[in-house]
Amino acid sequence: MKDMIKQYGNYFQLDTSNTTYSFRVTQTKHLEHLYYGEKIKIDSEDEADFLYEKHEFAAGNTVLYNNDNVNLTLEDERLEFSSYGKGDIREPFVIVTGEDGLFTSDFLFKEAKITKGKEKFKTLPGSYDMAEGVDHLEVILLDDNAKIELQLHYFVYEDTDVITRSAKIVNRNEDKSICVERLMSTQLDLDADDYVLTTFNGAWAREMEKHEFKVTAGKHVNSSYTGTSSSRANPFIMLSKENTTEDFGEVYAFNLIYSGNHYEAVECASNHKLRVVTGINPTNFMFKIAAGEAFEAPEAVMTYSAKGFNEMSHNMHEFVREHITRGKYKYANRPILINSWEASYFDFNESKLLKLAKAAKDVGIELFVLDDGWFGKRDNDKCSLGDWFENTQKLPNGLEGLANKINALGLDFGLWVEPEMVNVDSELYRMHPEWCVSHPDKPHSEGRNQRILDLSNDEVVSYIIEAMTKVFSSANIKYVKWDMNRIFSDYYSNALAQRGVFAQKELSHRYVMGLYKIMEELTRRFPDILFEGCSAGGNRFDLGILSYFPQIWASDDTDAIYRVGAQNNYSYGYPQSCYTAHVSACPNHQTLRETPLDTRFNVAAFASFGYECNLCDMSKEELDEIKEQIEIYKKYRQVFLYGDFYRYDRKNTDNLYQWIVVSKDKTTAIGMILQKLVNANTTFNMFKLKGLENDRKYLFTNRVIKQNIKNFGDLINTQSPIHIKNKSFLQHLVSKFVSMPGETEVYLSSGSAFMKGGVKLTQAYGATGYNDKVRYFQDFSSKMYFIEEKIIEEN
């Protein structure tokens, strides 16, 4: 077994397959960060000398650490962690206040332990290691005056080039309590070197917009204060060089295994040093720790690649698949589902649902999901959250009766729940108004007509576990969509009120810990249920949720043209098996946009896949096409879900998207190209394949799609013997029997040729001559390509 962590005297080095991370204990017993980047070879403490920063004097109006070290000002050091009060005035890692109100800390190195294996955190989810045990470095630091211990934990996931970090504060006082006001999860001090920070921000139905900021001076903060990881600012961030592309250049990436308020700050300090910290958002956060007790910060995930964003993403993807997602569905075929939400919203009854299920079965769908509206008196979003019993007017045979009928059709049954919430108009609220996050005597700001249950209260946690156990056991339920549709306001816990005025500042973190207790217990009790996270779409898309639920509904916007960008951006930090995508109706319910059915499929297929539309209203042609889509997805499902996903550079355009996903054994790949808006006479496109084996032979083919003559409007008259008016009944009639041929692409060559030369696709329609060699590639068009290894027998 290889040892990935080495200690040479005061020098510590953590190696993954392609990266090295190192720091040392200084004479003053601080931790100086030395290096994080491409793998380097250092075999002794002396060989690392050159990495140490040389400090001969403290410049200008900086503050000396102490009078014995007149050359040391902590503001100028690159540190593994930092605190306020001893000269470093940059973004701190830790702030702890004692009973005397002092918040200056001075944590100094005490000891380090290198071990194998990873224990579970007590209060939070974390990455988990493989059979042989992950390499673990624990560094213990002590603030002797305050009697507080700070533990830094490093875990080295060699194969995925990922290092995770977490921190823990232990109150070593015998009788005094302390208050943690901030405890970050990681800190990385680099030399400022023209870095670009990328964050993924958005809103409801507009998740994961990619934003880039040149980090030259000052501080940039990416954070959430919604009580969730949020659609406003995903906790995944990247720091790259300006010239980094999808396949070349340096990039660091960070994520956090946490589902609550998070904080990522990148500060470019005056001394040309750049600091990254990530962790729990310190805004309105405080946690009291009694004597002898401890506080755990969430685990931060870091990776580095010298080969561009794609390789960085592959590191993150493999790490998430191998060390975050767990349980039966980790690598399983996720079922193709039909979800009832956009098909009927709240307006359904058993017979309507069964018709939809029957139509779904006919096209090859595997799982029927009953979304919101099945419980209490829920005919709209104003009531009944908390009343988790069937609405017998809609479902006279209950969930069990419905599930049995759906099973009899040959489909599995799945259900939507929103357990963390309560409507004021509900039996639960009438019984327990004190169970929600709100002040009893102050007006409350409602969101979607609902309130949040107080998961810092153990009684509420137990209630949810038992209520959901009852629901999940009430029928043959194979899948659960766990929704959470509002953000926090009026932070106030009636349960915490007894613990003094500052206890309310613990609420947001205690809520998240309560949520994890519930998820842990329910996934333990129901290991065969496939759970899908959801929070008004992607309002809680993070590694904390993925530690329990292997997939998350990525956005309430199902429009393929929005989704192509969102899924492209999710893919920077998350593997495609983790985000779910559905083919929905057109005009799309969120944008009213019309996109071709094949484009809706071509985008949704690169994810955990399903449908969310009223199949009963669809034409035979559409249903036939859906049948074919489902056959394709079933044939290539493992590759779509778990293959290596590559993006293509889009620096100069937002118009064109290309993806390719390649099976682990490199025998199969599927490519996709999508154009948002057409420009006349831009007719040439090339598809440079990625990820294939150089010397193997591959057959490249396309999905041939015949085009409806309606797409050509009155241009059809250039071919037609009779005049056909656009949008006329005659056009409609002719379109039933005549269609335009789709282009065919068939090429056989080696992986290296396809990857270096690129496939010159057939010319796209450009205002002239359409025939079976011309690619129909108009607004919102897309194409799917199949690349399969061809074993050529040698004579």
Residues in contact with ligand DGJ by CB under 6 A are 341, 371-372, 416, 483, 485, 534, 536-537, 553, 556
Contacts of 768 (CB under 8 A, 6+ apart): none
CA distance 227 to 528: 29
Do 109 and 139 touch, CB atoms closer than 8 A?
yes
User: Measured from the CB of residue 481, what is the shortest distance to ligand DGJ in angstroms?
Assistant: 6
CA distance 478 to 530: 6
User: Measured from the CB of residue 300, what is the shortest distance to ligand DGJ in angstroms?
Assistant: 28
DSSP class per residue in 532-590 = EE-BTTBTT-SHHHHTT-SEEE--S---HHHHHHHHHHHHHHS-GGGEEEEEE-SS-TT
CA 215, chain centre distance (Å):
24
Closest to ligand DGJ by CB, 80 or 371:
371
CA distance 274 to 403: 56
Torsion angles phi and psi, residue 157, rounded to 5: -95, 90
CA distance 356 to 195: 52
Rounded (5°) CA angle 385-389-395: 110
CB atoms within 10 A of CB 44: 11
User: Measured from the CB of residue 620, what is the shortest distance to ligand DGJ in angstroms?
Assistant: 28
DSSP class per residue in 717-758 = GGT-SS---TT-HHHHHHHHH-EEPPP--EEEEEHHHHHHH-
Closest to ligand DGJ by CB, 73 or 555:
555
Closest to ligand DGJ by CB, 169 or 370:
370
Please state whether beta strands 608-612 and 579-584 pair in parallel, antiparallel, or not at all (unpaired): parallel
Q: Which of 554, 559, 527, 525 is nearest to 539 (CA)?
A: 554
User: Measured from the CB of residue 627, what is the shortest distance to ligand DGJ in angstroms?
Assistant: 25
Residue 508's SS3 state is helix
For the question of residue 556 being annotated catalytic, the response is yes
Do 759 and 686 touch, CB atoms closer than 8 A?
yes
Closest to ligand DGJ by CB, 344 or 711:
344
Backbone CA torsion sign across 295, 298, 303, 308: negative
Closest to ligand DGJ by CB, 553 or 754:
553
CA distance 303 to 316: 7
Do 375 and 390 touch, CB atoms closer than 8 A?
yes
User: Measured from the CB of residue 312, what is the shortest distance to ligand DGJ in angstroms?
Assistant: 29
CB atoms within 10 A of CB 728: 12
User: Measured from the CB of residue 556, what is the shortest distance to ligand DGJ in angstroms?
Assistant: 4
Do 120 and 126 touch, CB atoms closer than 8 A?
yes
For the question of residue 483 being annotated catalytic, the response is yes
User: Measured from the CB of residue 226, what is the shortest distance to ligand DGJ in angstroms?
Assistant: 15
Do 251 and 305 touch, CB atoms closer than 8 A?
yes
DSSP state of 79: B
User: Measured from the CB of residue 588, what is the shortest distance to ligand DGJ in angstroms?
Assistant: 14
Question: Residue 15: beta bridge partners?
Answer: 20
Residue 598's SS3 state is helix
CA distance 37 to 141: 25
User: Measured from the CB of residue 64, what is the shortest distance to ligand DGJ in angstroms?
Assistant: 55
Nearest residue to ligand DGJ, scored by beta-carbon proximity: 372
CA distance 165 to 12: 15
Closest to ligand DGJ by CB, 382 or 650:
382
Torsion angles phi and psi, residue 308, rounded to 5: 90, 180
Residue 628's SS3 state is helix
User: Measured from the CB of residue 555, what is the shortest distance to ligand DGJ in angstroms?
Assistant: 8
DSSP state of 187: E
Q: Which of 487, 461, 353, 355 is nearest to 416 (CA)?
A: 353
Contacts of 552 (CB under 8 A, 6+ apart): 532, 533, 534, 538, 540, 541, 545, 546, 578, 579, 580
Backbone CA torsion sign across 635, 638, 641, 643: negative
CA distance 747 to 724: 37
Overall size of the chain counted in residues: 795
Closest to ligand DGJ by CB, 356 or 670:
356
User: Measured from the CB of residue 369, what is the shortest distance to ligand DGJ in angstroms?
Assistant: 9
Q: Which of 351, 340, 464, 335 is nearest to 405 (CA)?
A: 351
Closest to ligand DGJ by CB, 517 or 589:
589
Closest to ligand DGJ by CB, 258 or 341:
341
User: Which entry of 556, 557, 598, 644 is annotated as an active-site residue?
Assistant: 556
Closest to ligand DGJ by CB, 25 or 367:
367
Closest to ligand DGJ by CB, 87 or 610:
610
User: Which entry of 106, 371, 483, 542 is annotated as an active-site residue?
Assistant: 483
User: Measured from the CB of residue 534, what is the shortest distance to ligand DGJ in angstroms?
Assistant: 5
User: Measured from the CB of residue 339, what is the shortest distance to ligand DGJ in angstroms?
Assistant: 7
Closest to ligand DGJ by CB, 26 or 584:
584
Q: List, by residue number, the catalytic residues.
A: 483, 556
